Amino acid sequence: MSEQPQPARENKMGTMPIARLLLTMSGPMMISMLIQALYNVVDSMFVSYISEAALTAVSLAYPVQNLMIAVATGTGVGINAMLSRNLGERNFVMANRVAGNAIFLGVASSILFAVLGVFGSRFYFAAQVSDPEIIQLGCDYLFWICLFAIGCFGQVLLSRLLQATGQTFYSMIIQIVGAVLNIILDPILIFGLFGLPAMGVAGAAVATVISQMVGTAMGIYYNRKKNPDITITRANMRPNLPVIGRIYSVGLPSILMQTVPSILIFGLNQILVSFTETAAAVYGVWFKLQGFAFLPIIGMNNGMVPIVAYNYGARKPERITGTIRLAILWALCIMVVAIALFQLVPDKLLSIFQASPDMLTIGVPALRTLSLCFVVGGFTIVASSVLQALGKGFLSMSIAIFRQLLLVLPMAFLFSKIGGLSMVWWSFPIAEVLAGLLAAYYLWRIYQKVIRPLAEKDYKF
């Protein structure tokens, strides 16, 4: 097919009332993110029926899995912002090139992770624990996750193309189908139901990659048949260095920012296992459960980013500020509900994972302390996403680095020496408050320097 500019028409991101638009764009993504959090919890819940060692192995594997997701979603942020901005500027030729290079980057990244995961998994686990059972279970899990990384990258990046053009309903369907399929396949493959062999921890990984591959297939179909704003051709899939450079100028800070949690988890696990491996399992459970609070906000932000980016390209500052205010309000409402649950019923949350008496003793006060992060955490996430949407990804990255590497890890290490395990958990809410103050300052500066001047006729991007 020849590459032709699309007909001149205004995308709904520049015309629809803001509250309705944000709900339309973010609602499906918030639902899909809640389901995503659910299937992550279900994944660990089924694994916990095998043994606490299996749960610990999956928890220790999470930094690698999170790194893969970070590269996929960070690349998606760059694609999302670039594609939405080009559509706002009505540069359809460049928008198509961005979409095509998204496919190329997904394939290249998946090959890299397949090689690293298959050959480096045993070294990774041996560097953290000495228990041969945990090491073997962890290797069994990561082998399949990394070998079929194309499923993760395909599902995420193809969904981002739909989000960037306002087709969030189809993106939601991809996420829901993948999550539900994973929930169905988990017990079948882990425990060997319906005559299939019991695969244990490896079964959880195989269920995940099968679900991701189905999501990838659906993403290909929806982008080809249901996405009129872009046209993906073989010519557009050829690597274009200027386009890739622009994608990563926004996406690389997001990748680095989302990689920081992997570094944090790895470092924190070293501190926790010095007390007991059960503490590492508790932190792994927390990381799964907190997704119910943070993933819906991230889903909302996935809808907010293209709105902000589009209206930045269209020079409509009042729509940008209205979207930001509404997103912050929604995030605060979600956080209020989340902190109430973690404060009132932490024991019930831990019991989902077959928590032993030792795990409950450590986990109940840990969840109550860790959940104090929710007080300002929602605002910080929204502010960081606004910075990304406006092309200020390095400022967003600096918030994550400041919070998790410069504050949490050093404080956790210090508190572990002077106050024991219970003090380690306090490093999180303290760091979150300080990071929230930094995010507020950045957001104020961006409004003064970038958003407000858009109304001036002689303003240049």
- Domain count along the chain: 1
pLDDT score at 36: 62
pLDDT score at 264: 82
Residues 21-46, mean pLDDT to the nearest whole number: 71
pLDDT score at 10: 55
Name the band, by pLDDT with cuts 50, 70 and 90, for residue 342: very high
CA 387 to CA 128: how far, in whole Å?
35
pLDDT score at 398: 85
CB 178 within 8 A of CB 212: yes
Per-residue pLDDT tens over the stretch 153-179: 998 888 888 877 777 788 878 888 888
Of 135, 379, 391, 103, nearest to 250 by C-alpha is 391
Lowest mean pLDDT: which of 80-84, 146-150, 383-387, 420-424? Answer: 80-84
Name the band, by pLDDT with cuts 50, 70 and 90, for residue 461: very low
Kindly give, in sequence order, each residue whose CB lies less than 8 Å from that of residue 349, ignoring residues fewer than 6 positions away. Answer: 285, 289, 341, 342, 367
The total of other beta-carbon atoms located within 10 Å of residue 389's CB is 29
Residue at 6 is within a domain: no
pLDDT score at 371: 92
CA 322 to CA 160: how far, in whole Å?
23
pLDDT score at 2: 44
pLDDT score at 379: 92
3-state secondary structure 53-67: HHHHHHHHHHHHHHH
Q: Which of 95-99, 268-272, 301-305 has the highest mean pLDDT?
A: 268-272
Residue at 3 is within a domain: no
Q: 443 or 25: which carries more pLDDT confidence?
A: 443
Q: Say whether pLDDT at 255 is over 70.
A: yes
Name the band, by pLDDT with cuts 50, 70 and 90, for residue 70: confident
Q: 231 or 357: which carries more pLDDT confidence?
A: 357
Residue at 449 is within a domain: yes
pLDDT score at 4: 46
Name the band, by pLDDT with cuts 50, 70 and 90, for residue 14: low
Residue at 8 is within a domain: no
Q: What is the mean pLDDT of the chain?
A: 83
pLDDT score at 435: 92
The total of other beta-carbon atoms located within 10 Å of residue 242's CB is 10
Q: Measure the N-to-C terminal CA separation of the chain; round to a whole number of Å.
A: 32
Q: Say whether pLDDT at 459 is over 70.
A: no
Q: Is the dihedral of CA 21, 24, 25, 31 positive or negative?
A: positive
Owning domain of residue 223: 16-455
Residue with tokens 């605002």: 379
Tokens at 190, concatenated: 């882990």
pLDDT score at 48: 82
At residue 458, what are phi and psi to the nearest 5 degrees?
-95, 10
CA 64 to CA 60: how far, in whole Å?
9
CB 102 within 8 A of CB 156: no
CB 362 within 8 A of CB 278: yes
Name the band, by pLDDT with cuts 50, 70 and 90, for residue 1: very low
The model's pTM = 0.67
Helix axes 291-313, 149-164, angle to 10 degrees: 50
For 51, counting Cβ atoms within 10 Å of its Cβ (0-12 exposed, 13-18 middle, 19+ buried), the class is middle
pLDDT score at 395: 85
Q: Say whether pLDDT at 458 is over 70.
A: no
